[in-house]
Amino acid sequence: MADTKVVLLTGGSAGIGLELAILLMEKGVRVYSASRRLSEVRKASSGSGEIIPVQMDVNVESDIQAVISRILKENSRLDAVVCNAGNGIAGSIEDCNESETRFQLETNFFGAVKTIQACLPVFRKQGGGKIMATSSIAAITPIPYQAFYSAGKAALSIFMQALAIETKPFGIQCCTVLPGDTKTEFTNTRKYTIKSQSADSAYTKRMKKAVQTMEKDEKNGMEAKYVATKMAKQLLRKRMKAVVVPGIGYKVIYSIYNLFPLSFRLWVISKIY
């Protein structure tokens, strides 16, 4: 047990999170896979790796504290936390009410913040730890009709950069992952604002056309396992990179996007969606 790495992973029941949990398990990691629905414990084909499902809502601080207390009781340490839980809601900014806005930001941003804040005292006491957060290429490229998704991912990226500065003296490493279009259940679970589905909305026709393009790109996107492989590689390294962008095409976008004038960037995005 002393050599078994211990990781808390949110959003681990499906998609990228599930693939990451499996990869880490097969590498001998004990993964506490947190989600709102429980599944069965899984053991690695060989070695000490396993996936231990834990019921946890990242928006409920008592849930987070209970899981961390359990991890420490069973292992006496926590080596890394991966904030991967997320959701998506589509609709124009005008058609998004306050509760729908909060729905989008609570999990994607504040849920990650709450989880990380709960882990920080543990990492400081240990003299180190790793923090990984799943942001998105949408953090640098504004996505129309998913503005609050982009805004939440952008906030998470900047938060992680500031966190890296603050926690470096304590031996804590931070890594932000920015995937592009990926084949996951995210496409089928995307929600829509109430007003965006009304015939009275001035945006419905354009919104539906844009989302159709997004869903086509997602269904033809990267495999979830490919993204998870890039994440697992960082978690198992001695030192993680500050930012990881899976996929050559998305690496190019990340590298050169800000070199072009804003007006040109927004024009290109408007033509895509």
Q: What is the pLDDT of residue 45?
A: 79
What percent of the chain is modeled with pLDDT above 90? 83
Q: What is the pLDDT of residue 3?
A: 64
**Residue 39 binned pLDDT confidence (cut-offs 50, 70, 90):** confident
Token pair 């930012």 is found at 243
Q: Which of 32, 145, 149, 203 is catalytic?
A: 149
> Which residue, 241, 219, 217, 220, is CA-closest to 231?
241
How many CB atoms are located within 10 Å of the residue 162 CB?
A: 10
pLDDT at 28 over 60: yes
Q: Which of 135, 136, 150, 157 is catalytic?
A: 135
Say what the pTM is: 0.94
Residues forming beta bridges with residue 55, ordered by sequence position? 35
Q: What's the topology of domain 6-272? A: Rossmann fold (3.40.50)
> Which has the minimum average pLDDT: 45-49, 81-85, 172-176, 200-204?
45-49
Structural domain spans, the chain: 6-272
pLDDT at 1 over 60: no
Q: What is the pLDDT of residue 2?
A: 45
Active site residue 273: no
pLDDT at 55 over 90: yes
Q: Which of 153, 157, 201, 273 is catalytic?
A: 153
46 vs 190: which has the higher pLDDT: 190
Active site residue 149: yes
Tokens linked to 244: 């990881």
Active site residue 153: yes
pLDDT tens per residue across span 223-268: 999 999 999 999 999 999 999 999 999 999 999 999 999 999 999 9
**Residue 185 binned pLDDT confidence (cut-offs 50, 70, 90):** confident
